[in-house]
Amino acid sequence: MGKATGFLDYARTENTTVPPLERIQSYEPFHKPLPHDVRQEQAGRCMDCGVPFCQNGQMLCGMISGCPLHNLIPEWNDLLWNGYESQAVARLLLTNSFPEFTSRVCPALCEKACICGVHGDPVTVRDNEYELIEHAWANGLMQPQIAAVRSGKRVAVIGSGPAGLACADQLCHRGHDVTVFEKADRPGGLLMYGIPNMKLEKDVILRRTALMEQEGVTFRLRTAVGQDVSAETILEDFDAVVLACGASRPRDIQAEGRDAKGIYFAVDFLTSTTKALLGGGLDQNDHISAKDKHVVVIGGGDTGNDCVGTSIRHGCASIVQLEMMPKLPDTRAESNPFPEYPRVCKTDYGQEEAIAVFGEDPRRYCTTVKAFLKDEDGKLTGVQTVRLTFDEDRRPHEVEGSEEVLPCELCLIAAGFVGCDSTLAAAFGAELTERGNVRTAQDAHRTSADKVFTAGDMHIGQSLVVRAIAEGRDAAAEVDRFLMGYTGLPGGAR
């Protein structure tokens, strides 16, 4: 806990946010930290609640309640409140490999399960976490932790997203020789190319991977497993292999005119913008541009919102975001009680910016695409939409006569993912589930192939960065037990 009466003495104070019309002028982060003493006060709001649901991280009614990493939130809030920052950082890093990532992109599942939030405002857990980890980097606390004893075992991690990085980090600290294979030109996976700069600065990722290299992790970039190096070679050269390549197959929209020029998957759009920014800026015009175009985004989730925010920064002429499902309620329904994750409507940064620029919320609910329209040159000119209703079994039905044509020169498909790279999984002999994920036993990471493991979205399907980190840590403990016969790594007992 923090201060015994802190939740009564201090009101919730979040980090400040740059106003929408100002922040869309750049791709810089728009959340600004508050002074250290304010964050200490906010840590003092953490109450002695007896049962800290914030660190529970369990599934309730198909949704996660609390932190999947089981972060020791009351403990490090108490240490922060009392001025023991270095000890607070140590407690934070005990369960979370990368607080600098989660404190920027996590939807703060912990805060949704905070007892303070039942009859008031929850503790600012994510902002406090950000304060601690950035304090650690700024004050020389993040030094290489090099294992004193090496095991002599070699582990290959395929993929450098949050799951792969977390797995590699843990195994390296255990004393194993870890090589991470990444097909892109920079490490980070979806952290690098799937999340916009304004949510996660790319130097933050490179700062961490540089530390991992100092600790002994080897990164082989621009190396596509199955092309530049064979699965057979990796299986021969390494004692264990971890597949952490994400859910890389985007869900497509099968509608008339799908072959029109101007339709892209969201991940390709976001990747092209990030690569252009890292390469010197958007002036090179070598990216998928939304400038002066009418844009339609298909998908109402976080990735769709990122497409909205990025398109506005490009200078789009208009933006519409289609959501197939009905709008969620603005407040908790009686059927969705605490500590379940609250299924309520949120207006994210991209939608806030669209409202500020165009004067209205870009989202259209219960709407899907019926056809893509194109000109004689095959270029996209519009999208025909149709309204939907849902029956008692939640099956969608088109509303007769509700068709509408939206002007559109750029359509971005952000409808989720349908599984992993099946070719890569097959190369290592790993079986897939009917959902396209790598098959393992319940709550395990070992695949059907000898000495091959899996973690992250490739294992559980599309999910959150914080869950991917938890997956990577748990997989590392399982790999360590396989190699050594036992493990002392955190997560191994889950």
**CATH no. of 6-138:** 1.10.1060.10
Which DSSP category does 282 fall into? Answer: G
What's the topology of domain 154-248+418-484? FAD/NAD(P)-binding domain (3.50.50)
* Residue 492: per-residue pLDDT: 45
CA distances from 490 to 106, 164, 165, 477, 494 (A): 21, 16, 15, 7, 9
pLDDT in tens, 269-324: 999 999 999 998 888 778 999 999 999 999 999 999 999 999 999 999 999 999 99
* Residue 48: per-residue pLDDT: 79
pTM of the predicted model as reported, rounded to 2 decimal places: 0.96
* Residue 490: per-residue pLDDT: 80
For the chain, give every residue range classified as CATH 3.50.50.60.
Answer: 154-248+418-484, 263-413
Secondary structure (H, E, C), 107-142: CCHHHHCCHHHCCCCCCCHHHHHHHHHHHHHHCCCC
Which DSSP category does 173 fall into? Answer: H
**Distance from the first to the final alpha carbon of the chain:** 25
The answer to whether residues 211 and 144 touch, using CB atoms and an 8 Å cutoff, is yes
**CATH no. of 263-413:** 3.50.50.60
* Residue 72: per-residue pLDDT: 95
Mean pLDDT of the chain, nearest integer: 95
**CA 7 – CA 5 distance, rounded (Å):** 6
The answer to whether residues 214 and 144 touch, using CB atoms and an 8 Å cutoff, is yes
* Residue 493: per-residue pLDDT: 40
Say which amino acid occupies 49.
Answer: C
* Residue 494: per-residue pLDDT: 41
For the chain, give every residue range classified as CATH 1.10.1060.10.
Answer: 6-138
* Residue 376: per-residue pLDDT: 96
**CA 281 – CA 279 distance, rounded (Å):** 6
Which residue stretches of the chain have pLDDT < 50? 492-494
* Residue 1: per-residue pLDDT: 64
